[in-house]
Structures are given as structure tokens and as C-alpha cells.
A and B are shown apart, each in its own frame.
Chain A
Amino acid sequence: MSQVPIIELKNIRKFYGKIEALKGVDFLIYPGEIVGLVGDNGAGKSTLVKIMMGVFPPDAGEIFVEGKKVNLRSPSESRKFGFEPVYQETDLISQLNIWRNFFLGKEITKKFFIAKFLDKKKMRDITSKALDNIGIKIKNPDSDIMALSGGERRSVSIGRAWHFGGKILILDEPVTGLSVKETEKVLEYLKKIKKTGCSVVIITHNIYHVYDVADRIAILDRGTKVAEMRKEDCTPEEIMDIIRGKKKIV
């Protein structure tokens, strides 16, 4: 690919106290591609996501967005670049209903004299439509988040990320903890999203979850990127072996 990557991370390092979670990782994402970022628990995947999302800065290394060096100082800066996350831990607030969660931090307002009021009708409509588009049936955008199943909640997060994502969707373990049926559904969404040309990073410890949809696969192991390949160049079994540390990298 001769394109400029949307985001490029160079030699990223991150410490949690004495633990070095990332030991100089390079990672990049081109427009329109689906990247699988795989590795065992504790490999540093979620840490990398949080650096891309501006949750905290790296202790060393550089970040380029469309070729320009940047500091991602907060999640709202990353979101402004068009990066949208679905975090491994829940990223919905149980006290807010569906549409309030959907638009959290990106609320639509309308002006009324000097005051800005929430445009609730518009947000309800967009929420229903966006979720409908991706194939999620929500009866009422005013429903409690707590009334949804685990899979439905994950779907709301993914629908939200897709709606606002413009550039890159970063999904951290999007199917972990979901039933087989729900997993299939989420993988369906990903194929849909891929067709729209949005880049997607899928993080997982299970290669079989992403092998179908990914174009490229990067493998992290205890803070180091140990392999990276186009999907055509490897079988899922080979990747599993690398993750387990059985196979030496060529």
C-alpha cells in the first residue's frame, strides 16, 4: 500500500510502575483495512488501544496521524480525529438510557435564545437508525441500558463507534464473553462496517474470531510485537502457535 497510514505509532513504550507493558511497539493502520491485533492476556493490547485513544500518553515513542506528528492528550482529541473505541471493559453507563449513552460527549443541541438544549428527538431518531443500520433491533432508545443483554449492550457500543468513527474503529475484545450466536452477529457487523471503507482494529486473544474478516494480523507478546503478516501468508494454526510461543518467528 502506498497510502499514508491514518495512524502510525513508532517505538511506543509504556510503564505501569515497574511493569513495562509495551516495550517499543510499532503499529500502523491504513485506510479501509481490517487489522487483527492478537496476543495472550497481558500482552499489552488494551494498553495500546488506550494510547491510541488518548486515555494516557506513552512514556516514549511517537504518534503520527495522517503523516503529522501529534500528541493525543485526551480521548476527546482522539475522537475528534475520527477514532472510536469499544473498550474491553464496559463503556456504557448503566444510569443513562440508550440514546444518552449513544451520544455521550457528542450530544446534539439546538439553540433556544441564549441556551443550548439537547435535541432529544433527533438523537433518539439517529440512535434508532444507526442501530438499525447495523442490524440491531432496539425497540425504544429510551430503554435502560441495564435492560439489555450483554450482547445487545456490546452491539450498542459497536453501533455507536461505527456511527461516530469516520476513520478508525478500535474494538477491544468485542466478542469476549458473548454467546456463539452473539459472536456471529458481531462478526456480521464487522463485515458490514468493512464495506463502508472505515478501518477497523479488532483486538482479541482468539485468532479464530478475526481470521475471517482481517486483512492483516499483528501479534503482541508480553509488550513486544513478535510478528505481523498479511492474512494470506499464514494459517490460523500458525498464528496460534506463535501466540503460544511454540513457533519461532521467521
Chain B
Amino acid sequence: MSLRIKITPELGSLISFLCIFIFFGVFAPRFLTIESIGSMLNMAAEFGIVVVGVTLLMTGGEFDLSVGSVFALGSFIFVSAISNGVNPYLAFVFVILSGIMIGLLNGLITVKTGIPSFLTTLGTMLFWRGVMLGLSGGQTIPFQIKSRLIENAGGRFVDPFLNSVWIFLVTVLIFHLIFEHSRYGNWLRASGGNKIVGELMGLPVNKTKIQAFIVCSVLASFAGFLDACRLKTFNPLLGQGMELEAIAASVLGGTSLLGGYGTLIGSLFGVLIISALRVGLVMMGMTVYIYFSLVGVILIAAILIKHRFSVKFIKGA
């Protein structure tokens, strides 16, 4: 191998992000303003927190299609609890507990039955969406309750950035440390990379995976809570399609669909690519619908490029 610059997938996602960013900077008037960058980050925050969990789980070799439903359920539990007079802090605890329970359930079903998580979480995605629609009667639930917690979680200390932007960045940082610098990160990658070898080497593969399922659901329901605090309403259609978009963002960030590889830095840029597209297209005066098509095209292009590079890399090595 002559040129030993390793194009890691996360570096690739940084480059794609910069290309898109520069493109809009040139062609979309007012894209390079603090307001537009603010709305890009604001749009990224809640979704990005979900993507962190999805990345963790995909690195561990599993999928979670239920994040969109769990996101909405987090919002629903919080809003319906406080609307019924529950203290917001206690309602927040309910949200987190529900996330833990749902993740535990996803993990246990997957690990104990051996059903692929793509299917278990497809099942729980439909199940929780159904439960929520049933309980809410399919109605939106606005609220006007004032609380320090709600103001902080849904507000902004530094205009134009929502506080959830900082929460998202801190989440990325924490999980980056866990991925790169903890024993758990090593085990998770090993469990996702080769479960059998992981078990032969004495790793608690199933426990590691269940923990990842729990983290993923907790982050999704937490993001739903943030959404409720920001919009001061619950909407039963919340989070639909989020699961696939989250996988797309994670894959754009270099996470392997086959498990064993993923980085939070990559996912951060994956999320930013997606929200830059959303904001940039609107600023260019295009219809929002083209956004989905573009994400699809970029996703396929990114995977093709990555595939070319990794083939070369292995051949050259």
C-alpha cells in the first residue's frame, strides 16, 4: 500500500457534510447566517439524540425500528402525566423508566428468542404506536403548564440555539467517550462484529446488547420529552418514519449495517448532513418533498463510495 491515508468512514461523512454545507453556502441565499445555522442545529438536536442510540445499537449488531414510536410515547407519557396533575419532574422520571422498560423488552425478546431485532422492534414499533393511539384517542394534547423543567428543556439560553442542541452535543461527547475509551465500547463492537467469537472470549454478549437496547430506548423517549417541552403539545403522529431516517443518518456517518463498526463523530455529521439538506433546500426555495429523494440518493452514493474505498483498502493492504 503506497498511500497510507486511511479514509475512515467518519472522515468521509465530514467531507460530505462540508460539501453540502459549501454547496448551500454558495447557492442558498442567507444559508450562512447564524439564524439558519441555528435552525439547522435545532432541527438536528432531538433527532440526533435518537441517532446516538441507534448508532450504539447498530454497532452492537442490532436494529431498533421502534425509536419513532418510543419517541412519541415519551412525549405522550410526559404530556398526559402533567395534564393529569403529576409533578413534571416525576413525569420526567416516568418517561425515563418507560424507556428503560421498553428497551429491556426489545432486548430480552431479541436475545432470548433469537428473532432478528429488525423484526422484534418492527413488532414493538407497531405495538407502542397502537397503544399510544388508543390511549390518546388519536388526538393532539396541548398543555399550558408552567414549570422550570419544561422551560429549560424546551427553551433557549443562547439565541438562536435551543437548549436541546447543547444536550445533543453533550450526549454525543459522552457516548463518544464510551465508544472509544471504555471497556463497554470494546465489548459492544466485538458483540456486533462477531457474536460467536465474543462469547468464546468470555464476553457477556447478550448483556452488552440488552444494555444497548435500553440506552437506545431511553434516548428516544428522552428526545420525545424534549420535543413535548419545546412544542408544548403532544401529537400522535410524532416520530413516524424517524426510525429509518435515523438509520440513514447513522449509515451516512459510517456506521456499518452489519454491526461492529460505528462512531459518534460520524453520526454527528450524518445528522448534520440531513438537517443541512432540510434547511438548505427550503432556503433555496425548493419544495420539502425533494428532501426525501435527495437523502435517498446521497445515502446510496455514500455507501457506493465507502464500498469502493474499503475494497481498495483491503486489496492494497
Which A residues are within 8 Å of any B CB, using their own CB? 53, 55, 74-79, 85, 87, 90-96, 100, 103-105, 107, 109, 115-118, 120, 144, 146-147
Contact = CB atoms under 8 A, between A and B. Distances in A.
B183 A79 contact: no
Contacts of B186: 96, 100, 103-104, 107, 118
Given A117-B182, A118-B181, A118-B182, A92 B317 contact: no
Contact of B194 (A77, A94, A146): A94
B203 A104 contact: yes
Nearest to B262: A95
Interface string B173-196: 000010001110011011011100
A78 to B, nearest CB: 8
Contacts of A115: 177, 182
A117 B181 contact: yes
B202 interface: yes
Interface in B214-260: 256, 260
Given A79-B202, A104-B203, A95 B260 contact: yes
Contacts of B203: 76, 104-105
Given A96-B186, A116-B182, A104 B201 contact: yes
Contacts of B181: 117-118, 120
The 3 closest A-B pairs by CB, nearest first: A76-B202, A95-B260, A95-B193
Contacts of B314: 146
Contact of B197 (A79, A91, A103): A91
Interface of B: 177, 181-183, 186-187, 189-190, 192-194, 197-204, 256, 260-261, 314, 317
A232 B182 CA distance: 50
B317 A105 contact: no
Given A92-B197, A93-B194, A105 B202 contact: yes
B236 to A, nearest CB: 39
Contacts of A105: 187, 201-203
A107 B201 CA distance: 12
17 contacts: A53-B200, A55-B200, A76-B204, A87-B200, A93-B193, A93-B194, A95-B189, A95-B194, A100-B186, A100-B189, A103-B186, A104-B190, A104-B201, A107-B183, A115-B177, A116-B182, A120-B181
Nearest to B317: A147
Contact of B317 (A100, A104, A146): A146
Given A94-B194, A115-B182, A118-B183, 13 more contacts: A55-B199, A55-B200, A87-B200, A93-B194, A93-B198, A94-B193, A95-B260, A96-B260, A104-B190, A107-B183, A107-B186, A109-B182, A147-B317
**Max count, chain A CB within 10 A of own CB: residue among B193, B200, B317:** B200
A79 B197 CA distance: 14
B199 to A, nearest CB: 7
A87 B202 CA distance: 13
A135 to B, nearest CB: 22
A125 B33 CA distance: 48
Contact of A96 (B182, B193, B199, B317): B193
B317 A93 contact: no
Contact of B189 (A85, A96, A109, A144): A96
A74 B193 contact: no
Nearest to A147: B317
Contacts of A87: 200
Contacts of B192: 95
Contacts of B260: 93-96
A71 to B, nearest CB: 15
Nearest to B310: A146
Nearest to B192: A95
Contact of B202 (A75, A92, A93, A103): A75
